[in-house]
Amino acid sequence: MKTFKDNMGQQWTVALSLQRVRAIRERIGIDLFHPTQYQYLISSLTERLTYLFLLCEEQAKEASIGADEFEQRLYGDGFADQASIALLAETENFFQKLGQTAMAILARKQIESIKAGQERLLELIDSGEFERQLDEGTAAVLSMIPEPTKPQPSSGSGSQNSAPSPE
C-alpha cells in the first residue's frame, strides 16, 4: 500500500488487489493487465486521477468527499503528481507480486519521468529560463501573425475599376 496527502493534509491510502482491478475495469473499461490500456493509464493524468479516485472511493465516502471535491483536493503545487506517483508505485509493487516484470518496469519508468519532469521544471522556473523561453515563444508566434491592413481611402463613390455606365 502506498499513501499520499491532498492539499487539505488528508492522507489517502492506495491499495491494489485483483478484485479491485476487476471492479474498476467493469466501471471504466481500463484493464490494468492489457499493456496498451495500462500505457494509456500511466501516460494520462486525467485517467490516472480517475483510477486513483476509484481506488480511494471508500475512503472518500467515509469522509463525505465526492469525486469533484477529491479532484479539487489534488489542485496545487505537486499534489496531483504525488498522488500519481503513489498510484504508479502501488501498480509497480502489485505487478511485481504477480510476476509481471515488464508492467512493473513501465510503472517505474513513468515515476522516474514524472520526478525528472518536476525537477527540470523547477530548475527552469528558479533560473528564470522558463519565463524567458515562454516570452521568446510568444514573441515568435506574434511575429508570424500579419498586422491588420488599414482600408485605403477611396476617392469619390464606386470602385476604382468601375466605369460610368452609359445612359
Cell reading at 125: 522556473
Residue-wise DSSP of 14-68? E---HHHHHHHHHHH---TTSHHHHHHHHH-HHHHHHHHHHHHHHHHHHTT--HH
The model's pLDDT over 58-70, given as tens digits with 9 standing for 90+, comes to 999 999 999 999 9
Collapsing DSSP to helix, strand or coil, 8 comes out as coil
What was the pLDDT predicted at 158? 53
What was the pLDDT predicted at 167? 56
- Asked if residue 155 has pLDDT above 80, the reply is no
- Asked if residue 57 has pLDDT above 90, the reply is yes
Q: 146 pLDDT band (50/70/90 cuts)?
A: confident
The model's pLDDT over 88-126, given as tens digits with 9 standing for 90+, comes to 999 999 999 999 999 999 999 999 998 898 888 888 988
Give the whole-angstrom CA distance, residue 128 versus residue 136.
12
Q: 150 pLDDT band (50/70/90 cuts)?
A: confident
Q: What are phi and psi of 12, to 5 degrees?
A: -120, 145
**Domain parsing of the chain, residue ranges:** 2-128
Q: 13 pLDDT band (50/70/90 cuts)?
A: very high
Q: Contact, 95 vs 103, CB < 8 A?
A: yes
